[in-house]
Structure 1
Amino acid sequence: MPANRVAENVFGTMGTICWTVQLTPQVWKSYRDKSTQGLSPWLVLCWGISAGFFGVYAIVQNLNIPLIIQPQLFGLLCMVSWGQCQYYGSPRPKRHSLLLGLAALLLLGGVEAAMVFSIRPSMNPRAIMFFGIFSSVLLALGLLAQYYEIYQRKEVVGVSILFMTIDLMGGVFSDLSLVFKPKFDGIAAISYSIVIAMDAGVILSALLLNPRARRRRRRVEDGEIRGVENRSLS
């Protein structure tokens, strides 16, 4: 397909918009429920670290501006969500959780900046490839942690499906942006495609497992009610 800078930037911008707001429903859900039960803290932590590695890759590879901004915003939102996991999922006071999240964010940003300045002079292709590949590995590991959480609970709890849907669309638009680049970036495409496939798995799990879990709970409740009625009659 011929290169098209306009299409590249339009799709890249749409992907950036999705990945700017995709964690907002999750952050709001956790805040509203005052709970992150069912949301794996490893998911958002691994994704936040992944954003730092992919940020290095995007900058040194000179991807389009939206795709460079994308991991920075993504990492910020991931760390906010991780901070919520520390606060709602542990007895830590709010101030300590806030400081922990802020420290993790500053450390991630500092490491990313240091790596960019150390790699740019040499543009070592192996080093650049490592950052792109390791970013994909961290994305997959984070989602595997969430899959384990789903496996334990036999349903999708605590995860905003709207978050997963917007995240999936961000991957689709970002992949399309790469199609119109003068030179297709396979590593970036793998990173985005992993997100698409594994987000789809979480959404499908919610569609299949959550109705079954609701039916199980109803059967248990009906059994308890019948047990109370029988005891009252005897």
Structure 2
Amino acid sequence: MPVNAVAENVLGTIGTICWTVQLLPQIYKSHRLKSTEGLSDWLVLLWGIAAAFLGTYNVIQDLNIPLIVQPQIFGTLSFISWGQCQFYGRKRSLQLSFLYFLLIMAIAAAFETGMVFAVRPPYQSGNGSAKSAVQFFGIFTSVLLAVGLLPQYYEIWKYKVVLGISVLFMIVDAMGGLFSVLSLVFKPKFDVVAGVAYSVVFVMDCLIVLAALILNPRTGRPNPEVIERRV
């Protein structure tokens, strides 16, 4: 594909918009139902941690601005959802749940900031160890994104229905991954590691949407939210 900075930024911006709003349906759904049953708190926790690694990788690699902003928003919303899991799912107090949210946000922000300042200078000077570290950040992101969805697959297997997790969240999240991958196509050099990370999100999200289309109608109530009120 030819290099096209406009296409790169437009597609990256669309991906950022998707990943800005993708968790909002999930956060709203958990708040409205006052329940996170069926939503794995490990999913949103590991995705929040993955966002810190992806943010570090994207900043050091000097990707386009939308892709640098993307993990920051993604991580924040993931940790908000995780905080809801503490409050609604694990029945912790509101104050303690909010404290956990602030603590994990502070740790993630400190980690990303520290890694950027520590690794970027030697990376830009061509240091081999720094380059290996950056590659690790990217690869570990893919691992966390994939591993984070495994507990959610277990929840689906346990209930034999897609319960708790918003299907709209999965669809918009998948679109965010897809447009982000497409934005990388128009860079002078395709970033394979970032591309794999975004592709993993797209594929594994699509599997959950497919599970909802197959399993939920078997309950006799294709609307997952109606099912949730009866579980």
TM norm. shorter chain > 0.5: yes
Q: How much has 1:34 moved relative to structure 2?
A: 0.2
Give the drift of 1:91.
2.5
Residue of structure 2 equivalent to 1:16: 16
Q: TM-score, normalised to structure 1's length?
A: 0.91
C-alpha distance in 1, partners of 2:135/2:193?
A: 8
- Scaled by the length of structure 2, what TM-score is found? 0.92
d(CA) in 2 for partners of 1:95 and 1:11?
A: 39
> Which residue of 2 is the match for residue 65 of structure 1?
65
Runs of 4+ in structure 1 over 3 Å off: none
Matches within 5 A, 1:1-234: 1-123=1-123, 124-214=130-220
Cα distance in 2, alignment partners of residues 115 and 154 from structure 1: 41
Aligned residues: CA RMSD: 0.8
Unaligned runs of 5+ in 2: 124-129, 222-231
Measure, in 1, the Cα distance between the counterparts of 2:203 and 2:64: 24
Output the amino acid matched with 1:64.
N
Match for 1:114: what amino acid?
G
Which amino acid in the other structure matches residue 121 of structure 2? P
Residue identity matched to 1:144? L
Quick check: which has more Rg, 1 or 2? 1
Q: CA-to-partner distance for each residue in 1:132-176, whole Å, 9 max, x for gaps?
A: 000000000111111111111111000111110000100111011
CA deviation profile, 1:4-32 (whole Å, cap 9, x unmatched) = 00000000000000000000000000000
- The number of residue pairs the alignment matches comes to 215
Helix, strand or coil for the counterpart of 1:120? helix
Following superposition, the deviation at residue 213 of structure 1 comes to: 2.9
Alpha-carbon distance in 1 for matches of 2:35, 2:43 = 16
Q: Is the 8 A contact 1:154 1:213 kept in 2?
A: no
1:181 partner letter = K
Deviation at 1:214, TM superposition (A): 3.4
Equivalent position of 1:218 in the other structure: none
Structure 1 alignment gaps of length 5 or more: 216-234
Question: Cα distance, 1:177 vs. partner?
Answer: 0.1
Distance between the aligned counterparts of 1:19 and 1:122, measured in 2? 31
